């Protein structure tokens, strides 16, 4: 079984972005969205209007997200998977979403990076959070161009 990362959040976090589960590059680097072709950090750079965010150190990127009251976590705490595709996830174990109130008591909105993560949206909506399923930032999501993804991701802050 592979294990995900702890949440990146604090008491002021208002928006949480949920991925499904870290890919191979992210697991190797022990960093959310470490694959260089993943659009995640470029999307956040544009949405937050923070030039150069994608090129900063990982710690600086996380600090920037927290300063903008945005947190990160994954839907799955553990799973079996070969490769990085969501379609290869097996034996998935969900994260303990009830812990959100502890990690991020000010949380208002749960956003999901892609359809697989988005399957958890009804559960979090039931818990009282506003939800938004975004197009996946993964390079495997080639159906949408970067500008098309960005147009949807701008809704993150609304």
Which residues are known catalytic residues? 38
Q: What is the DSSP letter of 8?
A: B
Token pair belonging to 147: 């500008």
Strand 2-3 to 70-74 pairing: unpaired
Helices (H), 78-134: 100-103, 115-118, 121-126
Q: Are 111 and 15 in contact (CB under 8 A)?
A: yes
Please answer whether residues 76 and 117 qualify as being in contact, where contact means their C-beta atoms are separated by less than 8 angstroms: no
- Closest C-alpha to 79, from 19, 35, 122, 133: 19
């Amino acid at each position: 079984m592979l294990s995900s990362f702890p949440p990146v959040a604090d008491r002021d976090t208002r928006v949480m972005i949920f991925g499904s589960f870290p890919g191979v590059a992210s697991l190797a680097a022990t960093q959310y969205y470490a694959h260089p072709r993943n659009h995640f950090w470029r999307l956040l750079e544009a949405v937050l209007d923070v030039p150069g965010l994608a090129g900063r150190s990982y710690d600086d990127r996380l600090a920037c997200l927290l300063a903008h009251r945005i947190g990160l976590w994954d839907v799955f705490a553990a799973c079996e998977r070969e490769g990085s595709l969501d379609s290869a996830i097996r034996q998935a174990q969900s994260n303990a979403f009830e812990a959100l109130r502890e990690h991020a008591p000010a949380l208002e909105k749960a956003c999901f990076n892609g359809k697989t993560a988005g399957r958890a949206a009804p559960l979090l909506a039931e818990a009282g959070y506003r939800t938004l399923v975004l197009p996946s930032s993964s390079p495997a999501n080639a159906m949408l161009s970067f500008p098309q993804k960005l147009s949807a991701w701008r809704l993150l802050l609304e």
